A = this chain, B = another copy of it.
Amino acid sequence: MRARSYHHGDLRTALITAGLRAARSGGAAALGMRELTRAVGVTPNAAYRHFADRNALVRAVAAEAQELVARAMHERITGINPDASPAQAAVDRLRAVGLGYIHFARTERGWFELAFLTQEAGPVAAPPPYQLLVDALDGLVATGVLTPERRASAEWPCWSTVHGFADLATRGPLRHQDPRVVDAAAARVVDTVIRGLGVPPALLLRTPADGGSENA
């Protein structure tokens, strides 16, 4: 980005970056053509050389936000106890996926709101966070925790539950609740789905006070 040329040099990515910065606190509503071009120091219409309209810009920023979600979830996955049995580790990985999703939603609600827009999972172009979920569920089958029959379409209960909780915790009734209450509810909710999938309770019942981890 040369200093003060007539041409900006890399306006497209500059707008996306500014968009991420703005959306972090303001959510999707903070992504205005005028607002972002102003932040980048350029005329509003300049953006139209790189994005068809506001919606296209929002989608581009949203894709970036999805990467951030996946990165946060991945970090949490790599932090789990390596000394556990394979079966336990697989369950813990799934739990990390769920709690990572929820944690991200609560700590980065602007980005989270954005990330959920224009989700097109399914056969085409699975978004990164979705892929982590698929891998975790496959891990349960590989370690014999889940039968292939039970695993089929297990993505939907899992994603539904953690996403729903994330929405309740960011835009819904849990919005202004004591964070520790929300933490506890999150752990409860994630364990409930996992049990619902058919995972033996022995693999998920933690002792009270939890196995030493900041959760949700």
Binding site for B on A (CB under 8 A): 116-117, 119-122, 130, 153, 156-157, 159-168, 171-174, 177, 185, 188-189, 191-198
Q: Tell me the complex Cα distance, A5–B187, Å.
A: 59
Q: A172-B116, A172-B119 are in contact. Are A189 and B177 (CB under 8 A)?
A: no
Q: Tell me the complex Cα distance, A185–B120, Å.
A: 17
Taking CB atoms, residues of chain B closer than 8 Å to A173 are 119-122, 130
Q: A122-B177, A185-B153, A196-B192 are in contact. Are A168 and B160 (CB under 8 A)?
A: yes
Q: Tell me the complex Cα distance, A117–B163, Å.
A: 16
State the Cβ distance, A78 to closest chain B Cβ, in Å.
Answer: 25
Chain B CB within 10 A, most for which of A130, A195, A196:
A196
Check B163–A172 contact: CB distance below 8 A.
yes
Task: Name the residue on B nearest A156 (C-beta).
Answer: B185
State the Cβ distance, A119 to closest chain B Cβ, in Å.
Answer: 5
Cross-interface CB contact of A164 among B167, B171, B188, cutoff 8 Å: B167
Task: Name the residue on B nearest A173 (C-beta).
Answer: B121
